[in-house]
Structure 1
C-alpha cells in the first residue's frame, strides 16, 4: 500500500523547492518576486481584472490581494482605474513598465520550468501529472463545497 504521508511530504517539498528556485531566479534576474509575477501574469491575461477576480483566482483573501496590488502599483507595475461597470470597484491593469517586466520575467519563469520539469520528465509523464493534479484539486474543491 502506498504511504500517503510520504506522497504528501514529497509533493509539498517539491512545491516548496520549485517555488523557491523560480523565486530566486526572478529576484536575481528581474528584481521581481514570484508572488508579484503570478499576479502580473493574471493581469496580462485578464486586462479588466478586479481585486476580487485576482483573489478568487489564487484562493487568497481580498485584503491580502489588495496589499499585493498596492505594492505593484507603488512600484509602477500596474494601475487602478475606475470600473466602468461598477463604481464601487476598480479595474487593475499593467503599466507599460509592468508589461515589459512581465515579458522579461516570463522568459526566466519558462526557462526554470523547463529545467526543473520539462528536461526531467517525458511529455507523457508531465501530461499525466497535470491530469492527476487537476483531478486531486477538483476532488478537494468538491469536498470543501458540498
Structure 2
C-alpha cells in the first residue's frame, strides 16, 4: 500500500493541476462578464459574498486565507464598480458587513449561470450519491489544505 502512495499523490496532483487551470480560465471568463474592469481574482471573492450574504471583512479574510489589507483593496475596487456595498454591522458599530449590491448579484448570477449549466451537464449521468460524494471530498480536501 505504501508503495502506491507516491503514484496516487502524483495522480491527485495531475488532476488538481488540470482542475485549477480550468478554474483560473473560468474565473477570468466570468470576471470579464460580470464587469469589464473586474480583476479575475475577484471571482472567488464574489462567490463567497454571494454564498454568505453579509459578512465582516475580517471573517471573509479568514475564510479566504488572505490579509485584511489585500482584501480591503479588492473590496474597495468592487465597491467602486458598484458590485459590493458596506453596511454597518448591527452587532459591532466599529465594523461593517460586506455584501453584493443588487446589481452585483444580478451580474454575478447571470455570468455564473452558463458555467453551472456546464457542471450540470458534466455530472448529469452521475448517480446523485456520486455528486454528493464529490462535493463532500472536495470540501474535505479544501478544509485540510487551508
Shorter-chain TM-score above 0.5: yes
Q: 1:134 aligns with which of 118, 139, 145?
A: 139
Structure 1 residue runs of 4+, over 6 Å off? none
Is 1:122 the counterpart of 2:103? The answer is: no
Q: Distance in 1 between matches of 2:112 and 2:97?
A: 23
Alignment of 1:50-65 (within 5 A): 50-65=56-71
TM-score for the superposition, normalised by structure 1:
0.73
Per the TM alignment, residue 10 of structure 1 is displaced from its structure 2 partner at its CA by: 1.3
Q: Distance in 2 between matches of 1:39 and 1:131?
A: 21
Cα 1:24/1:94, change in 2 over 3 Å:
closer
Q: Distance in 2 between matches of 1:114 and 1:33?
A: 26
Per the TM alignment, residue 49 of structure 1 is displaced from its structure 2 partner at its CA by: 0.9
1:73 equivalent in structure 2: 79
Contact 2:30 2:112 in 1 (8 A): no
Per the TM alignment, residue 34 of structure 1 is displaced from its structure 2 partner at its CA by: 5.1
Contact 1:26 1:108 in 2 (8 A): no
1:48 equivalent in structure 2: 54
Q: Distance in 1 between matches of 2:79 and 2:112?
A: 19
Is 1:19 the counterpart of 2:23? The answer is: yes
Greater length-normalized contact order (CA 8 Å, ≥ 6 residues apart) = 1
Per the TM alignment, residue 19 of structure 1 is displaced from its structure 2 partner at its CA by: 0.8
Q: Distance in 2 between matches of 1:100 and 1:39?
A: 15
Q: 1:113 aligns with which of 102, 119, 122?
A: 119
State the Cα RMSD in Å: 2.8
Cα 1:27/1:80, change in 2 over 3 Å:
closer
Structure 2, unmatched stretches of 5+, are none
1:7 equivalent in structure 2: 11
